[in-house]
Structure 1
Amino acid sequence: MIPWLTLAIALPAVGAAVIWALPRVKAPASADTAAQAGASARADAGSGTATATRSRPAATGGAAAPAETAKRLALGFSVATLLLVAAMALNFDTSGAGGLQFEEVYPWIPYFGVHFAVGVDGISLVLVLMSVVLVPLVVLAAWNEHSDREDGGRGYFALVLALEAMMIGVFAATDVFLFYVFFEAMLIPVYFMIGRYGRGADSARAAMKFLLYSLAGGLIMLVAVIGVYVVGGTFLWTELTDPGGALAAVDPATARWLFLGFFIAFAIKAPMWPVHTWLPTAAGSSSPGTAVLLVGVLDKVGTYGMLRYCLEMFPAAVSWFVWPVVGLSLVSIVYGAILAIGQSDMMRLVAYTSVSHFGFITLGIFALTQQAQAGAALYMVNHGFATGALFLVVGFLIARRGSSRIEDYGGVQKVAPKLAGVFLVTGLAGLALPGLAPFVSEFLVFVGVYAFNPVPAVIATAGVVLAALYILWMYQRTMTGPTPEGLSGLPDLSGREMWAVAPLVALIIAFGVYPQPMLNVINPAVERTVEAEADTAVAVTDGDAEGDEE
């Protein structure tokens, strides 16, 4: 049997190691060289021919040869990983998508019962696919974004590949301890991607805030992981979710505390209100490529963890937390949308829209209906594509103007119609326009939540109305109206930039028109989760009835 998932994790990890092993040659530290590199990067943002222009001073500067090689290696390894995962997906049996496939279990630390155990069901498979699609597009979009750095951006591309390996690992892990290792290890590359390769003077502070929030949640989850092993006797997810296993028979109060330990960590990662404040700070100080991976993939680890670990390992405890989580989700939907409307910085605005969108995802997860959970799982993927594309387009604008403030733009559609058109499509996807992918997932969430209870469904519609306000108002202020003098020569999208964003636009349209292939993969896994919750509810009800009779 081909070890698909091990190869998928190892391939980008090897790529990161190869890039780090490239000879370290320092570029001259002169101001002229730095200025020339910065000017070349800005030129490349607007023309497809500037890459060759930039390579000439790089050859004399000394650092560009390894930097250019690093870019090509990063793109090559990320595309190879995409092809490998695509080949694995073609061998996925959709008729058996409710259970794990491509399972691999190897002893890792036998003394503690820890295994290197990986496998995917329909939900984790589509999240792995989303991750490997986004990474090569981020590499393309960031091709010259860090050219003015001392290393020419080589370290950034190594960090991107290292992060890709961990993202695949965290979605594929079926050993709780291994999941925790990947969950925490992801913090390292992201910290440096924000702190060292971020934007503005506050990038180091934003990286530290991200790290502290994430570490706090991770430490709480570590306590819960240890508790699961103590009461369950194993770290293997397949055994911990066994209805006849030791974890299923644990004391209800203990199960609630363990549930809470996992949930807090996932709520911070998602992020949910009120532990969301690290996201706008981190995204606002990140480069657009980093923001794509941060919001498009890493935050999904939180909602995926709720669905995979909180609901499936502690089904008896879920009923105690349904309404509190539904309430927090509604606050996230409305609060995030209102704050997005008031933002003057485009990066922070898109980050706040994600706080609102993640509220829809968690609302769908804890509605405990098949339609809502299928919509939530689909929303994770569609949000990654739509918001990822929007971050990239905003990044292209920032590279041209040198500012992320909305007030510095206007009339862009007159001078850069392709850029404005892509901006409009990705923005409309963010407000879930019918015909675009997020609409299907949002509609399923509403249908499922309404079946659960009409009240939260009605309240959540406020998020839809507010989404139209913050997206269309941002588009109006940046793309329409008179063109400021400083934007009169703004270049349109280059060929490289089109290659970076066009696949995402195509996926947004394709899954908006025909989402069934993805739903065919997701639905069996969702049915398994919903059935487990229903069986537990029946068992609890029967137990209460027997107690009343006694």
Structure 2
Amino acid sequence: MVVTLLLLVPLLSATVLLAMPTGTDAKGAERWIGIGALIAAVVTAGLAVVVVAGRLSVDVPWIRSLGIRWHFAVDGISAALVLFTGLLVVAVVLHALAAPTPQGGSRSTYFGCILLVEAGALATFLARDALLFFIAFEVVLVPMWLLIRRFGDEHVRDTARADASGRFILFTAFGSTLMLIGILFLVAHQGTSDLTVLGELHGKGLSRSLEIAIAAILLTGLAVKVPLWPLHTWLPSAHTIAPTAGSVLLAAILLKMGTYGIVRLAVAAVPDGVAALSPVLAILGAVGTIWGGLACLVERDLKRLIAYSSVAHMGFIAIAIASGSHTGLQAALFANIAHGIVAALLFFLVGDLKEQWGSADLTVPRVALRDRAPRFGIAFVFGLAAVLGLPGLVSFWGEFLALYAAWSPAQGVNIGVLRATVVVGAFGLALAAAYALRVARILWAGEGAPETDAVARDVIADERGIRWGVVVSFIAVMLALGVVPHLLLNISDLDAAALLSGVTR
């Protein structure tokens, strides 16, 4: 019941908030709506800790006629993502409490969407039935679409919000269609939708051509969700328009659902098909690291720049998965969490700056953060240092281990292609350093801002209170996992080995 309760608390809380009649906020209930959302998020985070610590599960019949079971469980592959989701949503709600609700809808709708995203994400990471996994995945899309469409950037035209939200839902729906087709093919030929059984079968009973076909369909559908180049074009506009909470959830949770799906569905159930397609996966990932880095070098909108950096970092995860080795899988799982932490920190900071500046345009002359808002400046330096993979910070280990694994891939994987992607990926790291230092130069040092009266009078309130506490907590986690990465690697070590061998622990 604890596992079910973990899913029901955010789901029922979101339902109550979304069902509140229009005008409730005007009756002085704004404060209590926020407090209620915070209580639900804290309770959910506490339940997540209990579920992960006890490795709890639930497995009962649900739709008997289809053989679908209400089967949710946590293992080393999903444990870190479950914990991260629960704690991240607490940070998102705390951050949102310290600011007025973005224009476009009620406060209850805004918090309801955040909690509904959490419910869907947790169900996705815990689901042990392939069809249940698909349903949970789709639950997340509607509230995220609503956050972009209704609560998007008020400084842009309504047509821009409609375009960004429409592109988001169309691309992800296309990916969902392919994912469902792949799941149905897999279930029809293996005779079960139980992900544990599918992992144990490990592709047995499937011809090589069929396994490759199923892997291709699943990887293409999930590549849209990750997203991998060239299926990434929906991401920059969605990030640019979305409110701060939407950008954080999109970068830190939704993208991770795509890479988790590749591991849980494709790598576990059709390993030979993934191995056959690994050169393509690695090449797409390598191109993404370069494409994203080059875009970041010239991008003028800071939110859009961070979105392109996400495309680059997802490329490293694709290279790691393509290696087919235990080290590669560990690198992908670690980099998943690392990117979520760093991207969330940067989007929190950019959202706070944009509230005061009215835009995130890097070409507009701004005062140096080191002079007027040193806390902002220091936090940005930490975030940008993590983006470029500086040793001692969390991103270093995911990227380093990804390239290390690709240099020595698993047996049967094309070693020539994988080693070529290592060279390309290393160049991508150099690009990351270049664009991170470019942004640091503009924001921290204020380089390029002329000494005019307008700039001299530029007043910016530094980070403080709840928001500063949220930022400091992310920096602390970045440092902790950068110095002692085994805290995270140990969680998935044994289960990663078991998944690759098709043995259930």
| TM > 0.5 fold call | yes
What residue number does 2:327 align with?
371
Q: Distance in 1 between matches of 2:137 and 2:102?
A: 31
Work out which of the residue numbers 275, 279, 304 in structure 2 matches 1:348.
304
What residue number does 2:412 align with?
none
What residue number does 1:390 align with?
346
The 8 Å contact of residues 275 and 322 in structure 2, kept in 1 or not, is answered as no
Q: Which amino acid aligns with 1:131?
A: T
What residue number does 1:33 align with?
none
Deviation at 1:506, TM superposition (A): 0.9
Task: Determine whether 1:424 maps to 2:389.
Answer: no
Q: Deviations over 1:56-102 (max 9, x none)?
A: xxxxxx616232221111111111111121233333xxxxxxxxx42
Task: Determine whether 1:495 maps to 2:465.
Answer: yes
What residue number does 1:467 align with?
432
Q: Judge which range, 298-307 or 315-324, deviates more.
A: 315-324
Q: Distance in 1 between matches of 2:52 and 2:57?
A: 14
Work out which of the residue numbers 2, 5, 26 in structure 2 matches 1:4.
2
State the SS of the aligned residue for 2:72: strand
What residue number does 1:509 align with?
479
What residue number does 2:57 align with?
103
The 8 Å contact of residues 214 and 273 in structure 2, kept in 1 or not, is answered as no
What residue number does 1:283 align with?
239
Q: Distance in 1 between matches of 2:335 and 2:239?
A: 20
State the SS of the aligned residue for 2:61: strand
Deviation at 1:146, TM superposition (A): 4.7
What residue number does 1:191 align with?
145
Q: Distance in 2 between matches of 1:67 and 1:491?
A: 24
Work out which of the residue numbers 284, 306, 309 in structure 2 matches 1:328.
284
Work out which of the residue numbers 160, 163, 185 in structure 1 matches 2:114.
160
Task: Determine whether 1:72 maps to 2:15.
Answer: no
State the SS of the aligned residue for 1:273: coil
Q: Distance in 1 between matches of 2:71 and 2:14?
A: 23
State the SS of the aligned residue for 2:97: coil
The structure-2 alpha-carbon separation of the partners of 1:64 and 1:361, relative to structure 1 and needing over 3 Å to count, comes to farther
Q: Distance in 2 between matches of 1:461 and 1:350?
A: 19
Q: Distance in 1 between matches of 2:175 and 2:101?
A: 35
The 8 Å contact of residues 4 and 85 in structure 1, kept in 2 or not, is answered as no
What residue number does 2:403 align with?
446
Deviation at 1:152, TM superposition (A): 4.4
Q: Distance in 1 between matches of 2:257 and 2:105?
A: 31
Q: Which amino acid aligns with 1:464?
A: L
Q: Distance in 2 between matches of 1:168 and 1:294?
A: 14
What residue number does 1:222 align with?
180
The structure-2 alpha-carbon separation of the partners of 1:150 and 1:181, relative to structure 1 and needing over 3 Å to count, comes to closer
Identity value in percent:
28
Q: Distance in 1 between matches of 2:436 and 2:289?
A: 15
Work out which of the residue numbers 263, 269, 276 in structure 1 matches 2:219.
263
Q: Which amino acid aligns with 1:325?
A: L
The structure-2 alpha-carbon separation of the partners of 1:10 and 1:291, relative to structure 1 and needing over 3 Å to count, comes to same
The structure-2 alpha-carbon separation of the partners of 1:520 and 1:241, relative to structure 1 and needing over 3 Å to count, comes to same
Task: Determine whether 1:239 maps to 2:239.
Answer: no
Q: Distance in 2 between matches of 1:252 and 1:211?
A: 33
Structure 2: which 5+ runs fail to align? 410-414
Tell me the TM-score normalized by structure 1: 0.85
Q: Distance in 2 between matches of 1:315 and 1:370?
A: 13
Q: Deviations over 1:86-129 (max 9, x none)?
A: 233333xxxxxxxxx42311211111111111112112110111
Deviation at 1:530, TM superposition (A): 3.2
The structure-2 alpha-carbon separation of the partners of 1:531 and 1:235, relative to structure 1 and needing over 3 Å to count, comes to closer
Q: Deviations over 1:336-357 (max 9, x none)?
A: 1111111000000000000000
Deviation at 1:150, TM superposition (A): 6.3
Task: Determine whether 1:86 maps to 2:49.
Answer: yes
What residue number does 1:94 align with?
none
Work out which of the residue numbers 110, 126, 133 in structure 2 matches 1:172.
126
The 8 Å contact of residues 200 and 502 in structure 2, kept in 1 or not, is answered as no
What residue number does 2:267 align with?
311
Work out which of the residue numbers 293, 302, 308 in structure 2 matches 1:337.
293
State the SS of the aligned residue for 2:229: coil
Q: Deviations over 1:284-309 (max 9, x none)?
A: 11112111110111011111111111
Q: Which amino acid aligns with 1:118?
A: F
Q: Judge which range, 64-73 or 348-357, deviates more.
A: 64-73
Deviation at 1:529, TM superposition (A): 3.0
State the SS of the aligned residue for 1:63: helix
Please tell me whether Structure 1 or Structure 2 has the larger radius of gyration of its CA atoms.
Answer: 1
Q: Judge which range, 227-236 or 17-26, deviates more.
A: 17-26
State the SS of the aligned residue for 2:343: helix
The 8 Å contact of residues 283 and 351 in structure 1, kept in 2 or not, is answered as yes
Q: Deviations over 1:368-411 (max 9, x none)?
A: 12222111100000110111101110111101111110122341
What residue number does 2:391 align with?
434
- Measured on the aligned residues, the alpha-carbon RMSD in Å equals 1.8
Q: Which amino acid aligns with 1:463?
A: G
Q: Distance in 1 between matches of 2:110 and 2:27?
A: 14
